[in-house]
Amino acid sequence: MNIQIDDKEFELMLEYDQILKRIRLIGIQLNVDYEGRVPVFLGVLNGGFMFMADLLKEIELASEVTFVRISSYEGASSTGNINQLLGLQMSLKDRDVIIVEDIVETGASLHYLLNLIKAQEPASVKVCSLLFKPQTLKYKFDELEYIGFEILNQFVVGYGLDYNGLGRNLRDIYRVVVKEK
């Protein structure tokens, strides 16, 4: 079933149950990898809030949670200009940090965020992203350790991701329908 958001039509790409199954597996891996440690989960707002919430339900470790809000989007594409709207509220020095992202596309936002975090001298930094578009990546990240789904270069909404502020509340993830000309 297709849905309409603003001026674009979208079709179902990933159902909520598929998303939760993949998150459960990522959670298991994080519990193993960080056993005996107390990581800081750093959620990237606004898009990562649903992923972060479901991921934390799978974490059995003692951990802390904080958020940042950065943006590089206007409409359906990244501007490449990063705006930090809500900054880090805690020290990350000597901490194990896990950045929780909704999607890594060009990597511009992640590159910006990693530079901010590394300046605080954390013990370690890893990235956990629900979605990853390898074809659009403009930076190389050794820190990109946990990936939910690799997807093609298609615009997606739902499960925290939006189009012009709409669609974040959808449980499933939808991709834009490209009309043949």
Tens-place pLDDT, residues 42-63: 999 888 999 999 999 999 999 9
Mean pLDDT of 24-46: 96
Give the closest residue to 110 by CA, choosing from 155, 159, 70, 154. 70
Predicted local distance difference test score (pLDDT) of residue 86: 55
Predicted local distance difference test score (pLDDT) of residue 69: 87
State the pTM of this model. Answer: 0.89
Domain range spanning residue 32? 3-176
Instruction: Give the separation between CA 116 and CA 131, rounded to whole angstroms.
Output: 22
Query: What does the pLDDT look like over 3-14, one tens digit per residue?
Result: 999 899 999 999
Tell whether 88 is covered by a domain.
Answer: yes
CATH number of the domain where residue 134 is located: 3.40.50.2020
Give the closest residue to 17 by CA, choosing from 172, 180, 178, 176. 172
Tell whether 71 is covered by a domain.
Answer: yes
Asked if residue 113 lies in contact with residue 127, where contact means CB atoms within 8 angstroms, the answer is no
Instruction: Give the separation between CA 41 and CA 132, rounded to whole angstroms.
Output: 19
Query: What does the pLDDT look like over 103-123, one tens digit per residue?
Result: 999 998 899 899 989 999 999
Q: How many domains does the chain have?
A: 1
Which tokens sit at 172? Answer: 């499933």
If you average pLDDT over every residue of the chain, what do you get? 90
Asked if residue 15 lies in contact with residue 47, where contact means CB atoms within 8 angstroms, the answer is no
Question: Pick the residue with more confidence: 87 or 73?
Answer: 87
Tell whether 181 is covered by a domain.
Answer: no
Predicted local distance difference test score (pLDDT) of residue 181: 65
The Cα angle at residue 42 between residues 40 and 47, in degrees rounded to 5: 155
**Residue 84 predicted with pLDDT over 70:** no
Tell whether 141 is covered by a domain.
Answer: yes
